[in-house]
């Protein structure tokens, strides 16, 4: 664990402590450390009682459960709220209409062009969702069917997801920045019946066609019967007759009713599938279920963001990732609050875009990623000058460890030195936030996600599976089930078991390295598996490797992460070419384009180095530890390389790197 230890040393020197603000404490859901600690204790002493109470307070159930929890993490087998029925769209819409919130804003949508703003009251959203649910039904979608969603950040994305939940269809969102090939793999894996997509994506002033990707993907997707297309940019697109139809026509068609009965779902029915990278070449379809996920989304949104009726909540993530699912859509809408949805990027048309929108919508809760903060820091405080950020109350961070420098900048320049920052650690698999400060209760240490939320039994284990000492680095595990945890990897129970429950039997293995200090504060160090975190996006090195070797000139590839000042990590690829192929700069460019088309722009290597040979053990395993050091320009101590089949390759790689610049 030497990489982890290095990071620990630098973070150990962080001793600053920031007390939570006094102002706002009275009205807060959790207004003191003591009240957090009491809840935490209760949740550990009587977890079932604790969660039953939260589930009753937060969710409207059609039928009550007969069993709160039925779990065995050794199997693993986890069931929450068995016997209960509910509907997620009912919880996000209908019940708010009944509570006098018909005219309250549910979604404020800001398009990339400044003048394009669309708002939806709960009443308006309800009607759109019901219509869309009826459109999907007409297309033959039934309870349990999968619907793949490949859309930019436009309101139709939120509407589609809620419509799926209304009729009990399982949505699977594929980030619109992914390639045709990635989309195809994900549709094939879950055998979706319908695809919802758009003509194009607007991004940084450009119109990027999307429908051609969908068409390409669908060439090999037999399960898809219908494709619904949203007109975003007005591009001319090819519509395949019998398969493709326009959203605006389908929604306005005769016979599409503006109401639709919500389908009662069992608590353990699948709500959605979301693909995430793992340590093999094939992304995992993480499965979340209805009752547990919703309870957990509402619980964490209420606690961590202290969401109140007057709040304007802005989570800057894309709904293509779990953060958008939980904290743009289900959490805020389930609680009946107002959520901002933004189509654009932080630096277009200028680096003040976010602050200008905070001012424009009087945003109170702002939740973003460290990579965004680091990218904006480069511009200094100029873009912030003259912006009225006085509406802000809480700042949040997610996706990767936030370095203390970025934390301080966020706190001082965006938060005026007065706002708490909730550094939230969680994963696609956890459904919602697991370790995080509570804004009005937890004293903050920059760079630490602080303490676990109630119900979350987090611990650090060493290699032997024993609890680590304070400040000793180890594996972050969760020792008992929580309602928002994943219930499977779609279609692959074995992978579910081996990935998360084999390393430390009886516990959930998060795959992250961390330490816990003497105050019980958690410091997350990053992934311990072959997953790298580029700008808060999880990428499997194996996925990028298999994209590279699918190029006809490449015989072998090894991908590692290298430290990057803005992205956190960047993609560094070592590539061995087939015999007789020349190592040219043109080919390097071609390989980058190849990865873009295979996976998507986010996976495109920052550096590709030609490697005549790779450092392999005699059993043929690539020693990534060595490659990581070379990528980071750290040629000092390679540790034990005696198991290498040919130790000479290490020198060759160093020379190759120095020669290239």
Tell me if 276 contacts ligand 6R9 by CB under 6 A: yes
Closest CA to 657 of 573, 569, 563: 573
Tell me if 399 contacts ligand 6R9 by CB under 6 A: yes
Nearer to ligand 6R9, 184 or 428 (CB): 428
Minimum gap (Å) between residue 454 Cβ and ligand 6R9: 18
- State the binding site for CoA: 203-206, 323, 535, 596
Site string for ligand 6R9, 67-106 (x = CB under 6 A): ----------------------------------------
User: Can you tell me the distance from the alpha carbon of 164 to that of 443, in angstroms, rounded to the nearest whole number?
Assistant: 41
Q: Which helix (H) or strand (E) holds 184?
A: helix 180-190
Please name the residue ranges forming H helices in 272-352: 290-304, 322-324, 331-334
Pairing label, strands 607-610, 568-577: parallel
Nearer to ligand 6R9, 32 or 280 (CB): 280
Sign of the Cα pseudo-torsion (133, 139, 140, 146, in order): negative
Sign of the Cα pseudo-torsion (375, 377, 378, 381, in order): positive
Choices 152-160, 289-297, 317-325, 562-570; region in contact with ligand 6R9 by CB under 6 A: 317-325
Strand partners, 71: 78
Among 293, 321, 409, 610, binds ligand 6R9 (CB under 6 A): 321
Pairing label, strands 312-315, 146-150: unpaired
Tell me if 120 contacts ligand 6R9 by CB under 6 A: no
Choices 184-192, 259-267, 294-302, 393-401; region in contact with ligand 6R9 by CB under 6 A: 393-401
Minimum gap (Å) between residue 212 Cβ and ligand 6R9: 27
Peptide bond before 131: cis, by omega within 30 degrees of 0?
no
The dihedrals phi and psi of 597, each to the nearest 5 degrees, come to -75, -30
- Binding-residue total with ligand 6R9 (CB under 6 A): 23
Tell me if 320 contacts ligand 6R9 by CB under 6 A: no
Minimum gap (Å) between residue 374 Cβ and ligand 6R9: 14
Among 91, 213, 226, 424, binds ligand 6R9 (CB under 6 A): 424
The dihedrals phi and psi of 180, each to the nearest 5 degrees, come to -55, -40
User: Can you tell me the distance from the alpha carbon of 91 to that of 330, in angstroms, rounded to the nearest whole number?
Assistant: 9
Choices 7-15, 67-75, 132-140, 521-529; region in contact with ligand 6R9 by CB under 6 A: 521-529
Residue 140 has, within 13 A of its CA and on its CB side, a CA count of 11
Minimum gap (Å) between residue 481 Cβ and ligand 6R9: 18
Nearer to ligand 6R9, 511 or 540 (CB): 511
Among 526, 561, 605, 615, binds ligand 6R9 (CB under 6 A): 526
Minimum gap (Å) between residue 508 Cβ and ligand 6R9: 12
Which two three-digit tokens encode residue 266?
């069992």
Strand partners, 307: none
Minimum gap (Å) between residue 27 Cβ and ligand 6R9: 26
Tell me if 426 contacts ligand 6R9 by CB under 6 A: yes
Tell me if 567 contacts ligand 6R9 by CB under 6 A: no
Sign of the Cα pseudo-torsion (143, 147, 152, 156, in order): negative
Among 401, 439, 446, 605, binds ligand 6R9 (CB under 6 A): 401
Minimum gap (Å) between residue 623 Cβ and ligand 6R9: 22
Among 263, 423, 509, 598, binds ligand 6R9 (CB under 6 A): 423
Tell me if 425 contacts ligand 6R9 by CB under 6 A: yes
Tell me if 272 contacts ligand 6R9 by CB under 6 A: no
User: Can you tell me the distance from the alpha carbon of 584 to that of 224, in angstroms, rounded to the nearest whole number?
Assistant: 41
The dihedrals phi and psi of 164, each to the nearest 5 degrees, come to -60, -45
Among 400, 509, 530, 598, binds ligand 6R9 (CB under 6 A): 400
Site string for ligand 6R9, 498-517 (x = CB under 6 A): ------------xxx-----
Sign of the Cα pseudo-torsion (270, 275, 279, 281, in order): positive
Tell me if 524 contacts ligand 6R9 by CB under 6 A: yes
Among 411, 527, 551, 629, binds ligand 6R9 (CB under 6 A): 527
In 204-319, DSSP assigns E strands to: 206-209, 226-230, 244-246, 265-266, 270-276, 284-289, 312-315
Q: Could you tell me the CA-to-CA distances from 650 to 1, 192, 644, 656 in Å, in that order?
A: 21, 46, 10, 10
Nearer to ligand 6R9, 498 or 643 (CB): 498
- State the binding site for ATP: 399-401, 423-428, 512, 527, 538
Strand partners, 70: 79
Tell me if 411 contacts ligand 6R9 by CB under 6 A: no
Site string for ligand 6R9, 452-491 (x = CB under 6 A): ----------------------------------------
Sign of the Cα pseudo-torsion (48, 49, 50, 52, in order): positive
Minimum gap (Å) between residue 533 Cβ and ligand 6R9: 6
Q: Could you tell me the CA-to-CA distances from 13 to 447, 473, 568, 570 in Å, in that order?
A: 11, 15, 20, 26
Q: Which helix (H) or strand (E) holds 186?
A: helix 180-190
Residue 34 makes CB contacts below 8 A (sequence gap 6+) with: none
Tell me if 533 contacts ligand 6R9 by CB under 6 A: yes
User: Can you tell me the distance from the alpha carbon of 116 to that of 344, in angstroms, rounded to the nearest whole number?
Assistant: 11
Q: Which helix (H) or strand (E) holds 109?
A: strand 105-110
Choices 9-17, 214-222, 373-381, 524-532; region in contact with ligand 6R9 by CB under 6 A: 524-532
- State the binding site for Mg(2+): 549, 551, 554
- State the binding site: 203-206, 323, 399-401, 423-428, 512, 527, 535, 538, 549, 551, 554, 596
The dihedrals phi and psi of 585, each to the nearest 5 degrees, come to -70, -30
**Residue length of the chain:** 661
Residues in touch with ligand 6R9 (CB under 6 A): 276, 321-323, 398-401, 423-428, 449, 510-512, 524, 526-527, 533, 538
């Amino acid at each position: 664990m030497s990489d982890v230890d290095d990071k620990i040393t630098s973070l150990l020197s962080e001793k600053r402590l920031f007390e939570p603000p006094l102002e706002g404490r009275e009205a807060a859901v959790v207004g003191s450390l003591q009240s957090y600690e009491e809840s935490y204790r209760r949740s550990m002493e009587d977890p079932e009682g604790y969660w039953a109470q939260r589930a009753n307070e937060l969710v409207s159930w059609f039928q009550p459960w007969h069993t709160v929890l039925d779990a065995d993490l050794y199997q693993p087998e986890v069931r929450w709220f068995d016997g209960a029925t509910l509907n997620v769209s009912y919880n996000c819409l209908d019940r708010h209409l009944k509570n006098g919130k018909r005219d309250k804003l549910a979604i404020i949508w800001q398009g990339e062009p400044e003048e394009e703003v669309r708002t939806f009251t709960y009443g308006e959203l309800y009607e759109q969702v019901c219509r869309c649910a009826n459109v999907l039904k007409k297309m033959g979608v039934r309870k349990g069917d999968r619907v793949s969603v490949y859309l930019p950040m436009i309101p139709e994305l939120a509407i589609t997801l809620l419509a799926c939940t209304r009729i009990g269809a399982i949505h699977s969102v594929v980030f619109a920045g992914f390639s045709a090939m990635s989309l195809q793999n994900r549709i094939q894996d879950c055998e979706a019946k319908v695809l919802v997509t758009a003509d194009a994506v607007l991004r940084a002033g450009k119109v990027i066609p999307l429908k051609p990707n969908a068409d390409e993907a669908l060439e090999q997707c037999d399960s898809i019967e219908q494709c619904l297309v949203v007109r975003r940019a007005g591009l001319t697109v090819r519509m395949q007759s019998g398969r493709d139809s326009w959203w605006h026509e389908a929604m306005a068609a005769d016979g599409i009713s503006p109401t639709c009965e919500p389908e009662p779902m069992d608590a353990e029915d699948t709500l959605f599938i979301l693909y995430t990278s793992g340590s093999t070449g094939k992304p995992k379809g993480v499965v979340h279920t209805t009752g547990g996920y919703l309870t957990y989304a509402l619980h964490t949104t209420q606690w961590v963001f202290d969401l109140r009726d007057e709040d304007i909540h802005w989570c800057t993530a894309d709904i293509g990732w779990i953060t958008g699912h939980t904290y743009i859509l289900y959490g805020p809408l389930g609680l009946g609050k107002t959520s901002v949805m933004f189509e654009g990027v932080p630096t277009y048309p200028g680096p003040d875009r976010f602050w200008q929108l905070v001012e424009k919508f009087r945003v109170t809760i702002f939740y973003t990623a460290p990579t965004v903060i680091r990218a904006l820091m480069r511009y200094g405080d100029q873009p912030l000058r003259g912006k009225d950020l006085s509406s802000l109350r809480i700042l949040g961070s997610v996706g990767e460890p936030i370095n203390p420098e970025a934390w301080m900048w966020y706190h001082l320049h965006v938060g005026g030195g007065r706002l708490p920052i909730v550094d939230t650690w969680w994963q696609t698999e956890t459904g919602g936030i697991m370790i995080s400060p509570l804004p009005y209760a937890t004293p903050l240490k920059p760079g630490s996600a602080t303490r676990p939320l109630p119900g979350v039994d987090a611990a650090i284990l060493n290699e032997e599976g024993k609890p680590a000492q304070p400040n000793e680095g180890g594996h972050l595990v969760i020792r008992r089930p929580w309602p928002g945890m994943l219930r499977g990897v779609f279609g692959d129970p074995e992978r579910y078991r081996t990935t998360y429950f084999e390393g430390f039997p009886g516990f959930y293995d998060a795959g992250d390295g961390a330490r816990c200090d003497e105050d019980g504060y958690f410091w997350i160090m990053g992934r311990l598996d072959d997953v790298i975190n580029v700008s808060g996006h999880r990428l499997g090195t194996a996925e990028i490797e298999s994209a590279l070797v699918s190029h006809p000139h490449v015989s072998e590839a090894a991908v590692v992460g290298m430290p990057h000042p803005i992205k956190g990590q960047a993609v560094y690829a070592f590539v061995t070419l087939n015999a007789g192929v020349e190592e040219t700069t043109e080919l390097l460019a071609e390989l980058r384009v190849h990865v873009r088309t295979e996976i998507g722009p986010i996976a495109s290597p920052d550096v590709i180095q030609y490697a005549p040979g790779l450092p392999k053990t005699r059993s043929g395993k690539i020693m990534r530890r060595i490659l990581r050091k070379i990528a980071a320009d750290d040629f000092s101590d390679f540790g034990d390389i005696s198991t290498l089949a040919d130790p000479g390759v290490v020198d060759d790689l160093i020379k190759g790197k120095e020669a290239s610049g």
